[in-house]
Amino acid sequence: MLETYNIGAPTERPPVLIAHGLFGSARNWGVIAKRMSERGRVVTVDMRNHGHSFRGAPHDYPAMAGDLAEVIENLGAQVDVIGHSMGGKAVMVLALTRPDLVRRVVVGDIAPVGYSHTQQGMIDAMRALDLSRVETRGDADRQLAEFVDDAGVRAFLLQSLDVKARAWRLNLDQLEADMAQVLGFPEISGTFEGPVLMLSGGASDYVLPEHRAAVKALFPAARFAKIPGAGHWLHAEKPREFEAACAAFLG
């Protein structure tokens, strides 16, 4: 089962389950989860092949949705789900295949479509690090800067580096092997009739007007909202605004 992190005490509200994106981990969501736990129980997970969760094939959305379903069944209650990017696709597949487990869905800056960009460059950059020369996170950052210009992206990737063990908490081989699955979206028949919030970054191009038909075909009750000035990592760039939008939608 996935590594899970429980914050807050159960209340009359459904628990909130948060699924992170590619190369992320539950710890990326620590601050938001802590603040949201003032309203009730919040559960964050390390997705398969990430963080402290198990390594395994395949790394595709039916498998990831199955992992999330197992976590929810162990909780013994219907949940609200929040997923960002890869995690957003996983919670969409979860809602479509196991609607009995899900009350409301927040999807962070991703659509149920295939994308043409690749994250292979990030995998290559992480592999290029000479971990034998890494004593501190600063050492790793200086090496990574040769391949990744953006300091924010480097900081995000380095959250998955265990400096002491000199190892990535990511199964880079499996993520590379299944990158086409991660970028795509499976063919699924049926719909999820419950409330869905498609929350995107105003400065991001991941959710476009031409994606609305695909969203509405699967999620007829979907609503769309944007966080002005936020890019793809909207929860990291505008955490208070992201949290407020989720709180208002989840009720």
Mind telling me the catalytic residues? Answer: 85, 173, 232
Q: Which amino acid is at 37?
A: S
Q: Which residues of 87-96 are buried (b: 16+ CB within 10 A; e: fewer)?
A: bbbbbbbbbb
Q: Whole-angstrom Cα distance, residue 137 to residue 148?
A: 15
117 Rama class: left (phi>0) / alpha (psi -120 to 50) / beta = beta
Q: Coil, strand, or helix at residue 103?
A: strand
* H runs (alpha helix) in 2-119: 30-36, 61-75, 86-97
Q: Which amino acid is at 163?
A: V
Tell me whether residue 146 is exposed, middle or buried, using C-beta atoms within 10 angstroms of its C-beta: 0 to 12, 13 to 18, 19 or more: exposed
